């Protein structure tokens, strides 16, 4: 029997209008004369051109651009041009409307932003270097008009919020890209609320079980927490008002993703994460009193509760590079637990929530704009055409998340560097030539090596020598993307020169051996010496690592050599792999869209076992590798090489066993080990491969490697181990 989908077109029309009116309300504060008409025109155009399209959920497509525009207006605080662009962001790509149409109707600026949005829409679609190249393009548009990126983030956020109807492999891919690139980018642009939501949504799809577990735990203690916050806040609120400050004092929950990060980083269970929320004091202060009022509030809080002196952060005096301003302190609460308190003004709060756009609004009043400097830096990095796009992406990403330190030049100028930056980073920050010839530095008048890690407030003088040149191992010394890319391009240039020499030498040698000098032969020789490129061959010849006698050796074996080209992407498919595989079909794992039985190996980085959420990754030389979706490498693999990811699903089985590890912590007691092993090998009949035990001041810590059938088997075992008297926690670990 066929079920027919009945759509009430009239009701849908009403709903579309309702959503459009909500958008208008959200943008009200920025609307100027004539703006409403522009937005209406864009809405009508979008509505008409998407009229026959529907989303995966079955909803009219127009819901999506309206929602993106709403996020841009409400959550990022963008104005009319951006709202118009958000409404039209998919029309050039998906409908008959052209850029010329847009330009004619809405002008050059709008057309340019939409062009940017259309160009970067294909990001991450094909192979990795192309993805990186696309990302670079995306950043170029950022240097051009930052609104392109902001609308792109709104687009991504809405797609993440409505991903339930996507097939699982697409969810994984989109969530991976989001956690890998979009969330860091939102962070760097100061959009903290959006960054947190993107992280939580990614986690919801990448690690559904952990996500649900933490959400449930948070919900259980909600009332208790609310009461604690109320009691904690009351006295602050009272005194703040007594002293004539206008302030809003409240508690705010931390995101699930940040709680999970803390659990992983400190290796603690949920119950031991104390900062599940932060207290915020948002002051309503005139510009000239902002700083003084923040410190006044700080003094009130620390009179009431004892502060932890190591946990004071003053981003009011020196804002973060993304514009963030706030005063953070951690104080001891009434129940003996640490509580983080964030103090800032309404202006600072708006910047913290809406990031760049709010910054723009207040630009006139702030003399030093860290974000402008950052965008200037992005521009500089992009202007280096030599840089390899993938390398660039890696370096750039590293820099997105780091905190800053402030360093002084000998003349007292302030330079901002990421946390962990070295004297050498500082040198490259001053000037490329200073970096390239750096041999050391004086930090606060004391001589230090180039690898010296700078501390906030250091005064640094660089010492150079004309004989110095960049070295390969400098790449391990620096952390800034700028220094890295400068060192790389200088090393490359050096290598190019050496290769040039080697090329001439090799040409002469081949001539003397009567071998034709052509690409084909060069490839064959490179392959014989197991070198990745002919450039490497030239370098090896120039450095004397390959000599005439070696080439003669090559000649004598030449007949046996079969030329093999590099692996091409088209070989990287399930069918390509399948044709290479012989025999050994296995019943445990089904791979690919049509769930075939193909040979595979389990990745050593995350040791998947049946029951784990997994995916297959097609490697260049090693067939299909199975990773857990929460493997530390998964996000990077899926974001960069999405086209090599294949679906994989476990088949029910009980005959085979898989190696995994358990960490057991407890109170040391006579017979504890005995009782544990009794559960494992006695009750559960599980084979142990190894067991190591550490006892320290009455605390027992054991690592046990065991063979289990699947996650269900493992979970049952964990449950029973927790019942052993004295055992306080049992956690799985990889390798
Ligand atoms: Mn879209």
Q: Does residue 30 lie in a domain region? A: yes
Averaged over 395-408, what is the pLDDT? 66
Does residue 233 register a pLDDT over 80? Answer: yes
**Cα 688 to averaged position of ligand 1 atoms, centre (Å):** 52
pLDDT at position 402: 59
Same domain, 287 and 225: yes
Between 469 and 394, residue with greater pLDDT = 469
Same domain, 497 and 534: yes
Question: Of 650, 666, 683, which marks where a domain is finished?
Answer: 650
Averaged over 37-58, what is the pLDDT? 91
**Cα 177 to averaged position of ligand 1 atoms, centre (Å):** 15
Same domain, 201 and 252: no
Averaged over 391-416, what is the pLDDT? 68
Write the CATH number for 672.
3.30.70.260
**Cα 99 to averaged position of ligand 1 atoms, centre (Å):** 17
- Starting from the edge strand earliest in sequence, which strands make up the sheet with 460-464, in order? 446-448, 438-443, 460-464
Residue 94 a catalytic site member:
yes
Same domain, 262 and 329: yes
Contacts with 734 (C-beta within 8 Å, 6 or more apart), sequence order: 605, 606, 607, 660, 661
**Cα 646 to averaged position of ligand 1 atoms, centre (Å):** 25
CB 147 within 8 A of CB 603: no
Between 484 and 127, residue with greater pLDDT = 484
Identify the bridge partners of residue 279 per DSSP, sorted by sequence position.
251, 341
Same domain, 142 and 68: yes
Q: Does residue 269 lie in a domain region? A: yes
Between 358 and 291, residue with greater pLDDT = 291
Give the integer Cα–Cα distance in Å for 347 and 77.
Answer: 13
Residues 416-439: tens digit of each pLDDT: 888 889 999 999 999 999 999 999
Q: Does residue 400 lie in a domain region? A: no
Four-point Cα dihedral 417, 418, 424, 428, nearest 10:
-50
What backbone phi and psi angles, to 5 degrees, belong to 152?
Answer: -60, -40
Give the integer Cα–Cα distance in Å for 536 and 582.
Answer: 35
Give the integer Cα–Cα distance in Å for 192 and 431.
Answer: 32
Does residue 137 register a pLDDT over 80? Answer: no
8-state DSSP, 613: -
Of the ranges 137-151, 174-188, 306-320, 354-368, which one carries the lowest mean pLDDT score? 354-368
Does residue 528 register a pLDDT over 50? Answer: yes
Does residue 83 register a pLDDT over 50? Answer: yes
Four-point Cα dihedral 566, 568, 573, 578, nearest 10:
-40
**Cα 91 to averaged position of ligand 1 atoms, centre (Å):** 9
Same domain, 157 and 249: no
Q: Does residue 541 lie in a domain region? A: yes
Query: Quick one: which of 603, 601, 614, 607 has its CA closest to 706?
Result: 607
Average pLDDT over all residues of the chain: 81
pLDDT at position 478: 94
CB 438 within 8 A of CB 454: no
- Give CA angle at 660 (659, 663), nearest 5°: 145
Same domain, 87 and 202: yes
Write the CATH number for 287.
3.30.460.10
Longest CA pairwise span in the chain (Å): 96
**Cα 83 to averaged position of ligand 1 atoms, centre (Å):** 13
Domain ranges, residue 326: 215-362
Same domain, 310 and 259: yes
Catalytic-labelled residue, pool 74, 94, 103, 133: 94
Q: Which of 87-91, 217-221, 495-499 has the highest mean pLDDT?
A: 87-91
Between 73 and 144, residue with greater pLDDT = 73
pLDDT at position 135: 63
What's the sign of the alpha-carbon dihedral 694, 696, 698, 701? negative
Q: Does residue 274 lie in a domain region? A: yes
Catalytic-labelled residue, pool 93, 100, 272, 694: 93
Averaged over 688-705, what is the pLDDT? 80
What's the sign of the alpha-carbon dihedral 65, 70, 72, 75? negative
Between 678 and 190, residue with greater pLDDT = 678
What backbone phi and psi angles, to 5 degrees, belong to 176?
Answer: -65, -45
Give the integer Cα–Cα distance in Å for 360 and 356.
Answer: 6
Give the integer Cα–Cα distance in Å for 527 and 521.
Answer: 10
Same domain, 245 and 342: yes
Question: Of 619, 650, 681, which marks where a domain is finished?
Answer: 650
Same domain, 60 and 200: yes
Does residue 562 register a pLDDT over 50? Answer: no
Question: Total structural domains in the chain?
Answer: 5
Same domain, 551 and 585: no
Between 305 and 402, residue with greater pLDDT = 305
Question: Of 140, 173, 206, which marks where a domain is finished?
Answer: 206
Averaged over 478-495, what is the pLDDT? 88
Query: Quick one: which of 324, 405, 402 has its CA closest to 366?
Result: 324
**Cα 69 to averaged position of ligand 1 atoms, centre (Å):** 10
Q: What angle do the packed helices 389-401 and 481-512 form, to 10 degrees? A: 160
Residue 364 a catalytic site member:
no
pLDDT at position 602: 83
Query: What percentage of the chain has pLDDT greater than the value 70?
Result: 82
Q: Does residue 31 lie in a domain region? A: yes
Q: Does residue 482 lie in a domain region? A: no
Write the CATH number for 122.
1.10.3210.10
Does residue 583 register a pLDDT over 50? Answer: no
Same domain, 622 and 726: no
Q: Does residue 58 lie in a domain region? A: yes
pLDDT at position 1: 45
What's the sign of the alpha-carbon dihedral 32, 37, 41, 46? positive
**Cα 89 to averaged position of ligand 1 atoms, centre (Å):** 6
CB 702 within 8 A of CB 727: no
Residues 610-638: tens digit of each pLDDT: 888 888 888 776 778 888 888 877 887 77
SS3 at position 446? strand
**Cα 401 to averaged position of ligand 1 atoms, centre (Å):** 26
**Cα 146 to averaged position of ligand 1 atoms, centre (Å):** 17
């Amino acid at each position: 029997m066929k079920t027919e989908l009945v759509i009430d077109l009239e009701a849908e029309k009403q709903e579309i209008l309702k959503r459009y009116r909500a958008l208008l309300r959200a943008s009200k504060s920025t609307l100027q004369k004539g703006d409403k008409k522009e937005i209406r025109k864009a809405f009508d155009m979008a509505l008409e051109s998407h009229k026959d399209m529907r989303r995966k959920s079955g909803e009219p497509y127009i819901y999506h651009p309206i929602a993106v525009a709403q996020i841009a207006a409400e959550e990022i605080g963008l104005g009319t041009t951006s709202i118009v662009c958000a409404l039209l962001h998919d029309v050039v790509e998906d409908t008959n409307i052209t850029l010329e149409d847009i330009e004619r109707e809405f002008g050059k600026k709008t057309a340019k932003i939409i062009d940017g949005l259309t160009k970067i829409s294909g990001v991450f679609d094909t192979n990795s270097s192309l993805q990186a190249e696309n990302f670079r393009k995306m950043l170029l548009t950022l240097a051009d008009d930052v609104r392109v990126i902001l609308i792109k983030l709104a687009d991504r956020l809405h797609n993440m919020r409505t991903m339930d109807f996507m097939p699982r492999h697409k969810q994984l891919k989109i969530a991976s890209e989001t956690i890998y690139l979009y969330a860091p980018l939102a962070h760097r642009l100061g959009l903290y609320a959006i960054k947190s939501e993107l992280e939580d949504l990614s986690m919801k799809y990448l690690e559904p079980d952990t996500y649900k577990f933490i959400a449930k735990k948070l919900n259980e203690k909600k009332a208790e927490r609310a009461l604690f916050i109320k009691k904690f806040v009351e006295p602050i609120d009272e005194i703040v008002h007594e002293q004539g400050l206008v302030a809003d004092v409240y508690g705010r929950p931390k995101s699930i993703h940040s709680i999970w990060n803390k659990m992983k980083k400190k290796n603690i269970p949920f119950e031991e994460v104390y900062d599940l929320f932060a207290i915020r004091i948002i002051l309503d202060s005139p510009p000239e009193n902002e700083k003084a009022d923040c410190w006044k509030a700080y003094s009130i809080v620390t009179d009431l509760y004892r502060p932890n002196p190591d946990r004071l952060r003053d981003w009011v005096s020196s804002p973060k590079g993304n514009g963030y301003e706030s005063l953070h302190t951690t104080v001891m609460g009434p129940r003996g637990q640490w509580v983080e308190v964030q103090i800032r003004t309404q202006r600072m709060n708006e910047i913290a929530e809406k990031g760049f756009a709010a910054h723009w609004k207040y630009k006139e009043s702030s003399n030093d704009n860290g974000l402008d400097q950052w965008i200037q830096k992005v521009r500089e990095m992009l202007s280096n055409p030599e840089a390899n796009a993938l390398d660039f992406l890696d370096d750039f990403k590293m820099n997105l998340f780091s905190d800053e330190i402030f360093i002084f030049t000998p003349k007292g100028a302030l330079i901002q560097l990421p946390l962990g930056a070295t004297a050498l980073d500082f040198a490259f920050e001053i000037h490329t030539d200073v970096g390239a010839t750096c041999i050391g530095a004086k930090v606060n008048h004391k001589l230090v090596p180039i690898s010296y890690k700078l501390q906030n407030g250091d005064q640094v003088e660089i010492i150079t020598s004309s004989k110095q040149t960049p070295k390969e191992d400098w790449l391990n010394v620096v952390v800034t993307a700028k220094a890295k890319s400068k060192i790389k391009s200088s090393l490359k240039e050096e290598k190019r020169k050496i290769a040039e020499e080697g090329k001439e030498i090799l040409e002469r040698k081949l001539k003397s051996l009567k071998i034709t000098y052509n690409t084909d032969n060069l490839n064959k020789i490179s392959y014989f010496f197991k070198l990745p490129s002919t450039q490497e061959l030239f370098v090896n010849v120039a450095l004397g690592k390959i000599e005439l006698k070696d080439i003669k050796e090559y000649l004598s074996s030449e007949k046996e050599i079969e030329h093999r080209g590099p692996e091409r992407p088209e070989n990287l498919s399930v069918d390509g792999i399948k044709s290479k595989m012989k025999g050994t079909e296995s019943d445990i794992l089904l791979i690919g869209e049509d769930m075939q039985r193909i040979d595979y190996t389990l990745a050593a980085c995350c040791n998947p076992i049946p029951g784990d959420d997994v995916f297959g990754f097609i490697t260049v030389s090693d067939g299909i590798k199975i990773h857990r979706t929460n493997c530390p490498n998964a996000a990077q693999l899926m974001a960069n090489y999405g086209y090599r990811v294949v679906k994989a699903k476990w088949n029910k089985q009980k005959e085979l066993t898989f190696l995994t590890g358990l960490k057991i912590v407890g109170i040391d007691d006579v017979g504890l080990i005995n009782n544990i092993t009794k559960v494992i090998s006695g009750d559960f009949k599980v084979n142990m491969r190894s067991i190591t035990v550490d006892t320290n001041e009455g605390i027992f810590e054991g690592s046990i490697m065991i063979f289990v059938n699947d996650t269900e088997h493992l979970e049952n075992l964990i449950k029973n181990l927790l019942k052993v008297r004295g055992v306080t926690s049992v956690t799985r670990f990889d390798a």
